[in-house]
Chains A and B, each alone.
Chain A
Amino acid sequence: MKKADYLTGLALILLSIYVLAESWRMPRLEHLQAHPLSAPGIVPAFLAVVLLIFGLILVGRSVKAGGHRLGLSRKGIRNTLADPGNRRLLLTAVLTVVYAGVLVGRIPYGLATWLFIFVFVAVFEWRRGMSSREWKRLGLAAAILAIIVAVSISYAFERLFLVTLP
């Protein structure tokens, strides 16, 4: 956690400096006879100062605990990636981002949803050494679930809630 805190602290410091600079650049609207204390940059600058203090505390605290020695090694990264939990996490992240960020809006919604559910179920329920019969059963179950979800959600939103699907 101390390494994560160190990096988060640094990120917070960078973010607050950036926001401070942006707030300074925001117009003061003097030509509109606006009160200088009503300038749009005041509150973001105030928040940036608070976050800057928090960032400095985080960095100071984690450096004291030795968190600035990140000690990244190829072996460490490989071990993290080999962990089954992390693999499932990564796979879920990739599948969800590809579905929601790439497929939806580019191909018909029903098809994208069908594909996502089918691939998700098939990938996560696949086991090494499955017989072809088990494989077929899994594929069928995934396909049926995917059809039910894709059709019912498309129908519900398009016909009942009158939403134009992406």
Chain B
Amino acid sequence: MGILIDNLGLFLQAIGGFITPWALFHIAWSTLLGIVIGALPGLTATMGVALITTLTYKLKPDLAILVLMCVYVGAIYGGSRTAILLNIPGTPANAATTLDGFPLAKQGLAGRAMGVATSGSVMGSIIGMFFLATLAPLLGNYALKFQSYEFFWLAIFGIVISGHLTSLDDPIKGWIAGFLGLMTAMVGQEGIHAYERFTYGTTELLGGFALIPAMVGAFGLAEVLSVMRNPPAEMAKNPQDSVIPRLADIMKYKRTIVRSGLIGTVIGIIPGVGEDIGAWVSYAAARRKSKEREKFGKGSIEGLMAAETGNNAVVPGAIIPVLTLAIPGSAPAAVLLAAMFIHGIRPGPMIMVESPLFVYQVVAMVFFATIAILIYGIALTRPLLKVLAIPRTRLMPVVFVLCVIGSYAITSRVFDIWVMIGFGLFGYILREMKYPMAPLVLGIILGDLLDKNMRRGLVLTDGDITPFFTRPICIVLWVITLVSILMTIEPVRHALQRLFQKVWPGRRHSAD
């Protein structure tokens, strides 16, 4: 009880810290910018957070992270506008939103749909925020028990699960992307003996590939290329009906909201599995449980609510592992993690010991960003739709100019521009061949963790690998990893399903 009151005290202190004109000003512009970035096809949340990172160098660390959190929350919400009106997701997180959002818009209910998206996003953020506030301190304390063996498995687990869930049709491609990311992280000076691996005498590669230029390339340039390749989208008619969210919708679909919020949070916590998957899983679960299943895909308010609650709940969920393990729960969270390091904040298991206030400051940031999207959702929806009319032929070159200067500005090295181009072209080709980008990025981040902990673990046991398989947390991690891999092998999956039906003869796997 005492701890709870202490934590509540920290949360209120964090909230109070941001009620200053300067902080409120930052919340206002950054959330608005986030919504615009999210709404513009070709500008994703990841890229938005990456580009804005370069603009926040001069800010104090807490304000810089506040700005980035507001952009992140705003972008995931803003993408729903495009999904509803243009039938193209503004960010990949809003792909599931198009299924019911666009049919509603075609029925002349675009305003209503945007109101539902607003209430879903706000409720999703609030549920995720609740779990961020309660789970992060717990997980932080728990993570203190982690040793090299656990961290080794955490890295492998993250790559395998993220690879599987981001490439459900063909998980091997997700795993390849993830292991390529890990391999990319091997370039540069290694962390135990400071030996230079794969640098071939270039001083620029000593520190390895910098994460932000790599991500700006993989998510920025690659996106510019694919937007320019696709035929231009048709602008839909402007909404005529009210965009104000209705309390009745929230009450009617409260079960769907809570379920989607929980699913989103859990998906967020899983390393490298982001908002898009959160929305899809919430949507599928809502359809399975719905009494109006036949309306899904034809303009179901419930489906739209599930998708938008699910994706926004991922945001605070994805921050939980960032703060407690320094492992990103999603691609934008990966940039956020890099930004925290740039600003001298050291997330990881020690955070609850070293700077517990920061955890609650992040909770407060989500809180303020949520209030801001609600206000913008009610007051500014119509004027904001004007940005959708900007032709891509004018937007994309400007986006690319920002990609170039953004990659360069971090360390003022032209080399980083080359890194951005390389990752952009390589990322585009991989994307075209259906390799997901999220596990690749996760791999780049987890590479160092895997490298140090695998070798440390082996040295500690003098080559004996049993502790890797027998420690309690390790068992959980490797069993889930192994099952995830085995389930992709057809005969094994069938055998497991047969076994499942033998044990519970009455139950059958649902088709969806």
> Chain B contacts of A58 at CB under 8 A?
172, 176
In order of increasing CB-CB distance, the 7 nearest A-B pairs are A120-B397, A37-B458, A89-B229, A124-B393, A40-B195, A92-B228, A35-B459
Mask for B179-198, Cβ within 8 A of A = 1, else 0?
11011001000101101011
Q: Are B417 and A104 in contact (CB under 8 A)?
A: yes
Q: Looking across the interface, which residue of chain B has its beta carbon closest to that of A100?
A: B404
Residues of A close to B417: CB separation below 8 A = 100-101, 104-105, 166
Report whether B183 and A47 are in contact in the complex, using a CB–CB cutoff of 8 Å.
yes
Known: A29-B193, A44-B197, A99-B404. A38 touches B179 (CB 8 A): no
Q: Mark B52-63, 1 if CB is under 8 A from A, else 0.
A: 001101100000
For A32, the chain B residues whose CB sits under 8 A away are 193
Contacts of A120 in B (CB 8 A): 393, 396-397
Cα distance A6–B471 in the bound complex, in angstroms: 40
A1 to B170: give the CA distance in the assembly, Å: 12
Given A57-B172, A153-B402, 19 additional A-B pairs, CB 8 A: A15-B183, A35-B459, A37-B462, A37-B463, A38-B459, A40-B192, A42-B455, A43-B454, A44-B186, A48-B183, A88-B228, A89-B225, A92-B225, A96-B221, A116-B400, A117-B397, A145-B394, A161-B54, A166-B417
Q: Does B230 contact A (CB under 8 A)?
A: yes
Query: Once the chains are docked, how many angstroms separate the CA of A8 from the CA of B231?
Result: 27
User: Is B433 in contact with A1, judged by CB distance below 8 angstroms?
Assistant: yes
Q: Point out the residues of chain B lying under 8 angstroms from A96, CB to CB.
A: 221, 224-225, 400, 421, 424
Contacting B at CB under 8 A, from A136-166, are: 145, 149, 153, 156-157, 160-166
Instruction: State the CA gap A51–B183 with chains docked (Å).
Output: 9
The smallest C-beta distance from B60 to any residue of chain A, in angstroms, reads 15
User: Which residues of chain A are near B418, meaning CB under 8 Å?
Assistant: 101
In the assembled complex, the Cα of A34 lies from the Cα of B192 at a distance in Å of 10
Query: How many B residues touch A, CB cutoff 8 Å?
Result: 58
How far does the Cβ of A123 sit from chain B's closest Cβ, in whole Å? Answer: 9
Interface residues of A (CB under 8 A from B): 1, 4-5, 8, 12, 15, 19, 22, 26-27, 29, 32, 34-35, 37-40, 42-44, 46-48, 50-51, 54, 57-58, 85-86, 88-89, 91-93, 95-97, 99-101, 104-105, 113, 116-117, 120-121, 124-125, 145, 149, 153, 156-157, 160-166
Q: Smallest Cβ distance from B111 to chain A, in angstroms?
A: 32
Bits for B396-437, please: 1 = Cβ < 8 Å to A, else 0: 111011111100110010100110110011000000011000
Q: Which residues of B contact A (CB under 8 A)?
A: 54-55, 57-58, 172, 175-176, 179-180, 182-183, 186, 190, 192-193, 195, 197-198, 221, 224-225, 228-231, 391, 393-394, 396-398, 400-405, 408-409, 412, 414, 417-418, 420-421, 424-425, 433-434, 450-451, 454-456, 458-459, 462-463
Contact status B175-A38, CB under 8 Å = no
Known: A42-B454, A117-B397, A120-B397. A85 touches B433 (CB 8 A): no
Bound CA span A54–B402, Å: 36
Contact of A51 among B179, B396, B401, B404 (CB under 8 A): B179
List residues of chain B with CB within 8 A of the CB of A156: 55
Does A43 contact B393, Cβ atoms closer than 8 Å?
no
> Contact between A43 and B401 (Cβ–Cβ < 8 Å)?
no
- The interface residues of chain B lying within 8 Å CB-to-CB of A4 are 433
- A43 in contact with B455 (CB, 8 Å): yes
Which residue of A is nearest B454, CB measured? A43
- Min CB–CB distance A127 → chain B (angstroms): 11
Q: Are A149 and B398 in contact (CB under 8 A)?
A: yes
Q: Which residues of B contact A113 (CB under 8 A)?
A: 401
